[in-house]
Amino acid sequence: MGFRLHVAKVYQVKYALGDAFNHKCEEFHNLLSACQVEYTGESYDSDFEVSKNDWKKVIEKLKHLDILPEDDQEEIKKAIEKLDTPINEVISMLEYYLENSDPNNNQLNLSYF
């Protein structure tokens, strides 16, 4: 039985359209952190992954922001304010990204470019 290194013979990435959060990479990472969601990499990394379960948690927190503890509400509201995008648009874009992510992967593979 072996455990040898292999290379992908075919690796194809196709990105869904998305024009939200322009030049707001670190600010977007701060929103994820404010929602207590982990992502791969550092806050300034333009390529990162988030589990779909965590992504859904962010959407639910934003939809039900008014019932969260006050400290959590304030932190999330500050993060949204720095995105310069109304909360309803943030929710809409997060849902769009989820719907357009790879259905065969439990992670959202995200990239700023």
For residue 36, what are the domain limits? 25-111
Q: Which pLDDT value is given to residue 63?
A: 98
The answer as to whether 66 is a domain residue is yes
Q: Is the pLDDT reported for residue 4 higher than 90?
A: no
28 Cβ neighbours under 8 A, 6+ residues apart: 21, 83
Mean pLDDT (whole number) for 74-93: 97
Q: Is the pLDDT reported for residue 19 higher than 90?
A: no
Q: For tokens 């988030």, what's the residue?
A: 50
Q: How many domains does the chain have?
A: 1
The answer as to whether 4 is a domain residue is no
Q: Which two tokens stand for residue 42?
A: 């550092």
How far is residue 41's CA from residue 24's CA, in Å, rounded to a whole number? 16
The answer as to whether 32 is a domain residue is yes
Q: Is the pLDDT reported for residue 76 higher than 80?
A: yes
Please list the alpha-helical segments (H only) found in 35-86.
52-63, 70-83
The answer as to whether 1 is a domain residue is no
| pTM score over 0.85 | yes
Q: Which pLDDT value is given to residue 1?
A: 67
Judged by average pLDDT, the poorest of 16-20, 53-57, 59-63 is 16-20
Q: Residue 112, exposed/middle/buried by CB under 10 A (0-12, 13-18, 19+)?
A: middle
Summarised one tens digit per residue, pLDDT across range 24-57 is: 999 999 999 999 999 999 999 999 999 999 999 9
